[in-house]
Chain A
Amino acid sequence: DIQMTQSPSSVSASVGDRVTITCRASQGISSWLAWYQQKPGKAPRLLIYAASNLLSGVPSRFSGSGSGSDFTLTISCLQPEDFATYYCQQANSFPLTFGGGTKVEIK
């Protein structure tokens, strides 16, 4: 199975900050990676697929990069509605696996 490791597990940031979350796969997954945002009590929401493709309707302050085994989600200018938990997911092979999550909290 492919293990996905996210870091940090939590980050405290202020509105307007730039936030970077990393995700490492235990083996190469090319660009088969997705990022999700989840707010408390809500279902996750797909933000980015294929490592760097922004889903339609997702604000452009979100961006993704990376390939192989190392990936990054960047929020360029944190907004109040961005405080949430973010998950990466490898879409390379079954079983599909998620990272442990990164909670973005208000500083």
Chain B
Amino acid sequence: QVQLVESGGGLVKPGGSLRLSCAASGFSFSDYYMSWIRQAPGKGLEWISYISTSGTTIYYADSVRGRFTISRDNAKNSLYLQMNSLRAEDTAVYYCAGTGKALLYKWFDPWGQGTLVTVSS
């Protein structure tokens, strides 16, 4: 079945780094644009990054630009998010999500189950 499984979350100190991974199965990962979306505890959803099928087109939210880097490895059916210079306000559940098969279709389906990142000293 279609599945996205995130990993790599955990507790990190302010200023630290973390790399999230998202493993895809059950669908043609290389055909899908992909995104990372996060949700702070008790808060709403925030899109943070997007990558095209080939990895050549990338967008970031202002809140993470310059600190986070999205990438993908289609041969490994995997999406990544390298997070540097982490701040307390980056504490959230991080979801990976498919974002359509064309740049035109920017809605999110499927979703992973999420991985919790906690930034605290």
A residues sitting closer than 8 Å to B (CB atoms) are: 32, 34, 36, 38, 42-46, 49, 55, 87, 89, 91-92, 94-101
In the assembled complex, the CB of A9 is this many whole angstroms from the nearest CB of chain B, namely 10
Closest to A44 in B: B111
Tell me the complex Cα distance, A92–B104, Å.
Answer: 8
User: At the interface, yes or no: B109 with Cβ under 8 Å from chain A?
Assistant: yes
- How many residue-residue contacts, CB under 8 A, span A and B? 54
Looking across the interface, which residue of chain B has its beta carbon closest to that of A1? B62
By beta carbon, the residue of chain B nearest A87 is B45
| Docked CA distance A90–B119 (Å) | 29
Known: A43-B95, A43-B112, A43-B113. A98 touches B107 (CB 8 A): no
Tell whether, in the assembled complex, residue B106 and residue A96 are in contact, meaning their CB atoms are under 8 Å apart. yes
- A97 contacts B106, CB within 8 Å? no
Chain B residues with CB under 8 Å of A98's CB are 44-47
Min CB–CB distance A30 → chain B (angstroms): 11
